[in-house]
Structure 1
Amino acid sequence: MTDGFAVIYYSGKNSIANKATLRFYADRWTLTYTDYFTAETVEVIWKLDQIHPARVLAGVTLFKYGEFPHQSIEYSNDILNVKIRAHYPTVEFDKTDMFIETMNWKRISIVIATVAAFVVCSYLYFIPFLAVQVVQNMPASYDEELGEYVFEQMAEKLEIDSFETVLVNEYAEKINFNTEYPIQIHVVKDATVNAFALPGGHIVVFEGILSKMQHKEELAALLAHEVSHVNHRHSIKAIAKSLSSYLFLSIITSDVNGITSVIVSNADMFNSLTYSRSLEEEADTEGLKVLYDNKIDQRGFIYLFETLQKESDDGIGAIELISTHPLTEDRIAKAKEASAKQKNYQDRQDLGETWDKIKSRLSFQ
């Protein structure tokens, strides 16, 4: 056995860098470190025949072990490399450092420029794309757990009107949103003209937007739109894309706990997410279908858009719902086109009864 050498150890199960001690034996290497979560001492054994050839770049040596996802160690210690070469002739090293030493400055500049271009492209395109794909492949139960946790954090800062919340949920129960998620709506006592959806089914609606509505179908349109964001996991995709650079290591290693930790620590972003044009149009399209399937007048979307446009045109300011859900001419035109073709809508008196209660409550305050 040799004396211990300090290295950084990665288990392959998460992105945590563990300070470890490496020791050599005739037929194996051992790595000893303290587990980050349990604080217990852990010893890992590496058999010589499963150690991959080392990669040496700019003085940093990297060894991988076993099958994917690989365990690995890295260190900057030339003496350690000398000892490994002396004791283990079967352990291979690549020629990376030698290659760099023989390169001229022109070649080095080309390599640096190529690497820089790759990093920029990865940062702008590949990593955000990968973040969305990772979220897309997570089970639906993950959305519910995350949404519950995020809402609990938000609820401490929101003044929920319990009576209006009951009424709006009573209204929503009369609509089949065709969703697998448990929809829970919360009305906030705030004049902000806004509403937003969290992963897994929590929807927050501000009194400000309810007070501006004049038709019962407007609320149906708003809720159908937000539930569509929930169904297509738009909020978690948008925030994962926005935070992709922070999530990089967790995404590469599929470390769900690491992804969750970053998202939860940025929970306040959920109420100010800006959706892309394609996501907004997808939510509109599905929302219009929800109204059609429930025989609700699709003009509810037109009424809603007109209400929001009027608020903006009146100089009230960049109201939240338009700043986070951009109101484009295409969205308005598609709503008008769909409603013009609708023939199956009815005057939903059951919705009207609850809608009257909601407006009465708002005017009473």
Structure 2
Amino acid sequence: MKSYFGNYFTSSGSMPFESTILVFDKNLSIGYKRADGSNAMESWLLKDVETSFDLGRQLSRIRNNKLPGAELQIEGNDAANFIHSVQAEQQKPWHKKSSGREWIRNGALLVGILGLLFLLYLLIVPWLSEKLAGKISTQTEKQLGDAAYDAMRLGGNEDTAASYIVNEFFGAMEVPTPYSIRITVVNDNVVNAFALPGGRIVIYSALLKQINSYPELAALLSHEFTHVNNKHSTKSIFRRLGSKVFLGLLFGRFGTVTSVLVDHADNLKSLKYSRRLEKEADMDGLNILAQRNIDPQGFVDLFGNLKQASPGSELPEFLGSHPDIDKRIGYIKEASKNITVKENEQLKAIFEKLK
């Protein structure tokens, strides 16, 4: 038995599913997640399988004669060679097959291994990726975040004047951090903001226009800053990309990790965090405001104004990727009761430059 990672096309022209492939004596099993997130497993008989090696793309291509259009693609030629050798073994007389006397004894063991590998792929690998992500250096995070940012090609739409003012605003907040925080304002009608590993924060101009006071801007920046400073962005990205990142982290191949992030750069604009990480970003962000006597109502107003500005039940993308708004407003109000508020003339003056 051999295992591989590859892409599964269920029909001609379909989008591929990342999959785990196990090749046995008489069949191969394909484990993958459907588009709705549910787990799926298929089994192909090797007698129905044709293999070829795409020299130009360096891929093993595996097709099922009983499922027109269905295809597996696996890097390298090992998968094609191994399946071909297994098929040749099956053509031998029974007494000459190397596996003939062992298949009953090994059947139960292989089923157990299949279940273990499938569980490893779906559950343990993403968890381990997140844990390993928490150990990488800030410099490595910066390299990963910069590569993802460059792949998004947002620089051509940057509002440089607004970016300068927002960076001046955050600098005046004097938040200690080992990261070099770089904030970019991008001209776009999408109401969104997001953080990347290593210190980059992106705010779309449409979101900035919805902000009416300097405490709101301070709340937004403190929240996104916490995603950076607490490695939320790095951990969530690595958990989401799972096995693709895990092997690169495990063997120290950060070039591989960077390549994966670049390939998925556009998906990082709407990265969703767990409820635990969102609450941590809210509460640590609120603590940043409290330490500077900035009105915590900025958090409440930020969420409330964005929710009211959305048409009907359609939420802005920023709120769509930061769910449970009413519950978050509730615990922020509760935690804000004893915070002392003082007007910050410096932050107020910088904020007025944006209007």
Q: For the structure 1 residues 158 and 175, does the alpha-carbon distance in structure 2 shift closer, same or farther, using more than 3 Å as the test?
A: same
Match of 1:172 among 145, 170, 173: 170
Deviations 1:137-195 (A, max 9, x none): 11111111222222233245651111111111121111022211111111111121111
| Superposed displacement of residue 239, structure 1 | 1.4
In structure 2, distance between residues paired with 1:254 and 1:101: 41
For 1:31, the equivalent position in structure 2 comes to: none
Equivalent position to 2:299, from 288, 298, 301: 301
CA RMSD of aligned residues (A): 2.6
TM-score normalised over the length of structure 1: 0.67
1:195, 1:158 → 2: CA distance? 17
**Matching residue within 343, 349, 355 for 2:351:** 355
Question: Partner of 2:14 in structure 1?
Answer: none
**Distance change >3 Å, CA 287–CA 157, structure 1 → 2:** same
Shift of 1:248: 4.3
Which protein has the larger Cα radius of gyration, Structure 1 or Structure 2? 1
Residues 274-316 of structure 1: CA deviation (Å, up to 9, x unaligned): 111111111111101110111111111111111122234x327
Q: Is the 8 A contact 1:146 1:199 kept in 2?
A: yes
Name the CA distance, whole Å, in 2 between partners of 1:144 and 1:172: 19
Please say if 1:340 is aligned against 2:337: yes
Q: Which structure 2 segments of 5+ residues have no match?
A: 1-77, 86-96
Q: CA deviation at 1:120?
A: 2.1
Q: What CA distance in whole angstroms lies between the structure 2 residues aligned with 1:141 and 1:157?
A: 22
- Aligned counterpart, 1:153: 151
Residue by residue over 1:330-355, the C-alpha shift from the partner in whole angstroms, topping out at 9 and shown as x without a partner, is 3221111122221x221112111111
In structure 1, the gaps of 5 or more residues are 1-59, 61-73, 78-96, 360-365
Q: 1:135 to 1:347 in 2, by over 3 A?
A: same
The equivalences for 1:72-111 within 5 A come to 102-103=101-102, 105=104, 107-111=105-109
Asked if 2 retains the 8 angstrom alpha-carbon contact of 1:192 and 1:209, the reply is yes
Take 2:250 and 2:347, find their aligned partners in 1: how far apart are those partners?
Answer: 48
d(CA) in 1 for partners of 2:322 and 2:154? 25
Which of these residues, 200, 203, 212, is aligned with residue 202 of structure 1?
Answer: 200
Q: Is the CA contact 1:130–1:251 (under 8 Å) kept in the aligned structure 2?
A: no
Superposition map of 1:1-365 within 5 A: 102-103=101-102, 105=104, 107-156=105-154, 158-312=156-310, 314-315=311-312, 317-342=314-339, 344-359=340-355
Call closer, same or farther: CA 1:247–1:152 in 2, change over 3 Å. closer
Question: Structure 2: which amino acid aligns with 1:198?
Answer: L
Deviation at 1:226, TM superposition (A): 0.4
**Partner SS state of residue 247, structure 1:** helix
- Aligned-partner residue type, residue 293 of structure 2: K
From the superposition, tell whether residues 268 and 168 of structure 1 become closer, same or farther in structure 2 (CA, over 3 Å).
same
Q: Is residue 221–residue 287 contact of structure 1 (8 Å, CA) maintained in 2?
A: yes
Question: How many residues are matched?
Answer: 265
**1:54-101 deviation per Cα after TM superposition (whole angstroms, max 9, x unaligned):** xxxxxx9xxxxxxxxxxxxx9x99xxxxxxxxxxxxxxxxxxx98x65
Deviation at 1:271, TM superposition (A): 0.9
Give the secondary-structure state (helix, strand or coil) at the position aligned to 2:242: coil
